[in-house]
Amino acid sequence: MTGLNIFFILKDMLDNVKAKKYQIRLAPESLLGQSQKTGLDYLLRLDPDRLMAPIYKGLGRAAEAKAENYGGWEEDQINGHMLGHYLSAISAFWQATCDSRLKKNLDYVVVELKSLQASNGYIGGISSQYFENCFNGHFSVAKFTLENNWVPWYVQYKIFAGLFDAFWLGENQNAWKVLLAMGHWVCRGIANMSDQDIQRMLFCEHGGMCRVLVDLYQISGEKVFLVTAERFIHHQVMDPLLSGKDELAGNHANTQIPKVMGLAKLYDVTADDKYRRAVEFFIDRVINTRSYVMGGNSRSEHFEEPGCEALSRDTCESCSTHYMLKLVEDVFAWQPREDLAAYYENALLNHILASQEPVNGNKMYFVPTESGHFKVYGTEDNSSWCCIGSGLENPGRYHRFIWTEFENGLYLNLFAASTLMTEDYCVRLLTDFPYSSKVLIKVERMKKEPPFLYIRKPSWSKNPLEVFINGEPCGSVDSGYLKIMRPLKEGDSIDFSLSMELCSYPAKDNPRRFALKYGPIVLAARLGREKMPPSDVVPVHLALMEWENPVIIPRVLADKDKPDSWMSMNDPGALSFRTQPGALENQQCLELLPFYALHHERYMIYFDQA
């Protein structure tokens, strides 16, 4: 393909993006809006030159680096993975906020990468020798090492994904050029390898390499990317999924999710139904048989047997949920489903939102479910964990699933105060949800034949959803989405109420164990700060795993299935609840808060019935 052709494709793609562009802005004072701002401030504090430092080293030009690299995992063999996340995060935030400081940093990093890219197309934070050895077929492999280096392809995937986001969300054309050259470097190397050697190589964690190659194919139309992407399908784990078999137990969770994202994209470009079936099977097994109450999965980073919900301090790795949300967005685009939206809402509000510290934006790795433990966060300079990387991206993506536009209409999935603007219409969603159950949608501009509106009736809301337009009833539904049959007009006001109630969530593996939710919000009991560590912000993610727990955990004497008979709301503005005397052992009374709001103290999410 000539440079001129590439230019025209790029121009078409970007025009297309622009034409279709719709912007969703979170209300700044809303729950998600405030957390997004905290995440933005954190992102802007990072120094692009420090993030670039590993790239200089990887290319053998360390002396030219303009700053010292960050510590933690950034100097522990996966150097440069944070730069990939940074590019993705800054692009997502750019789409979410149009803050010009982001665009400036984004363009700066991409120009730097372009100037550093090797003539063969390689760009990365580790030596290309690890990959060259793979291409030559002379390499050693283990689950998390290739040539005795920690997950080289995983790092490469993060940089690929960052550049793709810089192009697609950040509208940076240079990123596409860097990406294309890097993609060709991969294709040339992989072409030398036997299928057997590729499968041996893929035993080591390799992120979503299949996915990014399909992304490259979809945009460039170059068949070589599709051929190479299909050679990146890891048959040992993907084949059982392709034949509808659940052999996930014992597998590292977040190694598999990005691989399945590759199958999802393969379905998009090939329409081969086997890929779609495998993806839908996978998400069903993860969501329904391996997730905790907050929507996170995995213990000690691994999938357990279906139906297991064992509590520990190393449950729910945050980056696993980050990728599950990306995957659910793909699957929802094939067919809107309320159960998928319910999973997304649950995981977003109760895991992703809960895993960012609300003042300084520090990010969590595991989310402990063992009663009496506490949240542990990474440092800004010396941690650089995987989940800090995905945690950088998360707040920039809060808005993505509130609305989804399809040809047949506009779907309202999440009840988050926001404004949706397209060239054709502008709608404002006014709500204080989850602190209020009332939702109002105002149609502020409607230029063109308006789409039908579909409003989600969440499965946790007991009563049928009844919707009013300008005060007049316009339909109700018991489950799924309500289609508003009347086209929308400028000036319309649409309103409805959700029914928020206390309910008990049964643990999958223990009939006497349960968690508590108010509507979709997971509640956690406050257990105080007794013998807390001097700081819960640490460089090493396992540092506080063995920290002493002096708290005696009370069991529940009252009926676990009727929480409204032994708990009452304390403060509606904080969604704080209190247990009544006699409900718990030892005459204890506990305060419960939304899990997302509980930080820097011990907590209990799962309760045991006495």
Q: Which is nearer to Zn ion, 287 or 319 (CB)?
A: 319
Shortest Cβ distance from residue 82 to Zn ion (Å)?
12
Main-chain phi, psi angles of 493, to 5 degrees = -120, 125
Residue 291's DSSP bridge partners are 297
Q: Which is nearer to Zn ion, 26 or 386 (CB)?
A: 386
Q: In which element (H, E) is residue 157 found? A: helix 152-168
Q: Which is nearer to Zn ion, 171 or 205 (CB)?
A: 205
Q: Which is nearer to Zn ion, 32 or 319 (CB)?
A: 319
Shortest Cβ distance from residue 256 to Zn ion (Å)?
13
Shortest Cβ distance from residue 370 to Zn ion (Å)?
19
Distance CA 496, CA 492 (A): 13
| Angle at the Cα of 553 from the Cα atoms of 552 and 554, rounded to 5 degrees | 115
Shortest Cβ distance from residue 304 to Zn ion (Å)?
17
Q: Is 82 in the site for Zn ion (CB under 5 A)?
A: no
Residue 318, C-beta contacts closer than 8 angstroms, at least 6 positions apart: 296, 351, 352, 355, 363, 364, 365, 366, 367, 387, 390, 391
Q: Which is nearer to Zn ion, 386 or 426 (CB)?
A: 386
Shortest Cβ distance from residue 390 to Zn ion (Å)?
6
Q: Which amino acid is at 410?
A: L
Q: Which is nearer to Zn ion, 176 or 377 (CB)?
A: 377
Residues in binding contact with Zn ion, number by CB under 5 A: 4
CB 456 within 8 A of CB 412: yes
Shortest Cβ distance from residue 512 to Zn ion (Å)?
31
Main-chain phi, psi angles of 562, to 5 degrees = -125, 65
Instruction: Assign 446 to helix, strand or coil.
Output: strand
Alpha helices in 249-363 (DSSP H): 253-270, 273-289, 318-334, 338-347
x/- letters, 120..139, toward Zn ion (CB under 5 A): --------------------
Shortest Cβ distance from residue 317 to Zn ion (Å)?
5
Q: Which amino acid is at 142?
A: A
Q: Which is nearer to Zn ion, 220 or 291 (CB)?
A: 291
For 345-388, the DSSP string reads HHHIIIIIGGGB-TTT--BBSS---STT----EE-TTTT--HHH
Shortest Cβ distance from residue 365 to Zn ion (Å)?
6
Q: What are the structure tokens assigned to 30, written together?
A: 């809303």
* Residue 272 CB neighbour total at 10 angstroms: 11
Position among 319, 414, 567, 583 found at the interface with Zn ion (CB under 5 A): 319
Shortest Cβ distance from residue 8 to Zn ion (Å)?
40
Which range in 56-64, 114-122, 318-326, 577-585 contacts Zn ion by CB under 5 A?
A: 318-326
* 568, burial (CB in 10 Å: exposed 0-12, middle 13-18, buried 19+): exposed
Shortest Cβ distance from residue 516 to Zn ion (Å)?
27
CB 297 within 8 A of CB 243: no
Which range in 51-59, 96-104, 317-325, 329-337 contacts Zn ion by CB under 5 A?
A: 317-325
Shortest Cβ distance from residue 394 to Zn ion (Å)?
12
Q: Which is nearer to Zn ion, 319 or 498 (CB)?
A: 319
Q: Which is nearer to Zn ion, 365 or 403 (CB)?
A: 365
Shortest Cβ distance from residue 147 to Zn ion (Å)?
23
Buried b (16+ CB within 10 A) or exposed e, 67-101: eebbebbbbebbbbbbbbbbbbbbbbbbbbbeeee
x/- letters, 87..116, toward Zn ion (CB under 5 A): ------------------------------
Q: Which is nearer to Zn ion, 251 or 436 (CB)?
A: 251
Q: Which is nearer to Zn ion, 327 or 387 (CB)?
A: 387
Token pair 């809006």 is at which residue?
33
Q: Which is nearer to Zn ion, 234 or 541 (CB)?
A: 541
* Residue 269 CB neighbour total at 10 angstroms: 15
Q: What are the structure tokens assigned to 22, written together?
A: 């719709």
Shortest Cβ distance from residue 385 to Zn ion (Å)?
6
Q: Which is nearer to Zn ion, 390 or 579 (CB)?
A: 390
For 187-212, the DSSP string reads HHHHHTS-HHHHHHHTTS--TTHHHH
Distance CA 262, CA 213 (A): 9
Q: What are the structure tokens assigned to 199, written together?
A: 């499968």
Q: Which is nearer to Zn ion, 314 or 317 (CB)?
A: 317
CB 261 within 8 A of CB 326: yes
Shortest Cβ distance from residue 319 to Zn ion (Å)?
3
CA 494 to chain centre: 30
Distance CA 365, CA 388 (A): 7
Helices (H) and strands (E) in the chain, counts: 17, 24
Which range in 314-322, 354-362, 415-423, 602-610 contacts Zn ion by CB under 5 A?
A: 314-322
Query: Smallest Cα–Cα separation from 445: which of 429, 471, 412, 423?
Result: 423
Residues between 373 and 432 that touch Zn ion (CB under 5 A): 386-387
Q: Enter the DSSP assignment of 564.
A: G
Shortest Cβ distance from residue 389 to Zn ion (Å)?
8
Distance CA 259, CA 438 (A): 40
Q: Which is nearer to Zn ion, 316 or 465 (CB)?
A: 316
Query: Smallest Cα–Cα separation from 468: which of 425, 439, 435, 437?
Result: 439
Binding site for Zn ion (CB under 5 A): 317, 319, 386-387
